[in-house]
Amino acid sequence: MHDRQTMENFDIREVNANDELRLALKPERFVPRSSSFMTLPHKYDREDRSGLWQFETLKKLGLAADSRLLELGPGGGRLAMHVIPYLQHGHYAGLDVSRQGLDWLWDLLPEVDRAREPSLFWGGDFNLEGLLPWKPDIIWAHSVFTHLYWNEIGQCLHEMRKVIAPKGNFFATYFNTVDNMWTSQSYGKSGKKLTYGFKDPFHYRFDTLQSLARETGWHAVHEQMEKNHKGQTLIRFSPQ
């Protein structure tokens, strides 16, 4: 078990070394485990700025109570704690590569929200065909592309195109660079943290993601929204 005082730098690849092996495997339905054996390093609360930013941004982008939302990388529950009680019963689904991250999410939810039957899945190749109870109107990936190689983003876009509703939208945040792809760039208030073109956390040029989008059946545009607290840019993928 990792000894963490905070999940501010939560990274799906570091939560559990064995979970990284899941990146190559088809997702399966998540069955909650008792958290009594775990020493949870931190629980987000309803004042967590990332969760609040995500929830308010999604509402500005059109999220309504009757929307069907698929969240990629929900581990930790920062958005889930707000959006599950907001959505109609059974209208939330989440996919995470980390089993432990989903344990954290489930542990965070009160019984009344667990009873709303969120659909949770554990796996890494993004293939959810035959698993989702509906086609999502909105797919949300906050700070997920920042941890993925370009070919993994391509796989994600390819699989999400298969399951999204015809008029749905896929929103994702990422570190955008307009400079040399291979020059590290700083982010955050301190300016001491770096993103890279070759390792996690990744930054990407917009035209790279546009090219991946075209190849997988999407049209990609930047959303003119307030950036998140890490300075990531929001991109919208619409089915072509």
Q: How many CA atoms lie within 13 A of 85 on its CB side?
A: 10
Looking at residue 179, its pLDDT comes to: 85
CA–CA distance, 136 with 155 (Å, rounded to integer): 18
Give the model's confidence band at 154: pLDDT under 50 very low, under 70 low, under 90 confident, else very high.
very high
Give the model's confidence band at 189: pLDDT under 50 very low, under 70 low, under 90 confident, else very high.
confident
Answer whether residue 16 shows pLDDT above 70.
no
Count of Cβ atoms closer than 10 Å to residue 38 Cβ: 13
| Residue 126 counted as domain residue | yes
Q: Is 6 helix (H, G, I), strand (E, B) or coil?
A: coil
Looking at residue 188, its pLDDT comes to: 82
| Residue 127 counted as domain residue | yes
Compute the residue count for the chain: 240
Number of domains comprising the chain: 1
Q: Give the domain range for residue 233.
A: 17-239
| Residue 177 counted as domain residue | yes
| Residue 12 counted as domain residue | no
Q: What is the mean pLDDT of the chain?
A: 87
Give the model's confidence band at 160: pLDDT under 50 very low, under 70 low, under 90 confident, else very high.
very high
Answer whether residue 177 shows pLDDT above 70.
yes
Q: What is the CATH number of the domain that holds 202?
A: 3.40.50.150
Looking at residue 210, its pLDDT comes to: 98
| Residue 200 counted as domain residue | yes
Q: pLDDT exceeding 90 applies to what percent of the chain?
A: 69
Answer whether residue 117 shows pLDDT above 90.
yes
pTM: predicted TM-score of the whole model, two decimal places: 0.88
| Residue 79 counted as domain residue | yes
pLDDT in tens, 214-225: 999 999 999 988
| Residue 114 counted as domain residue | yes
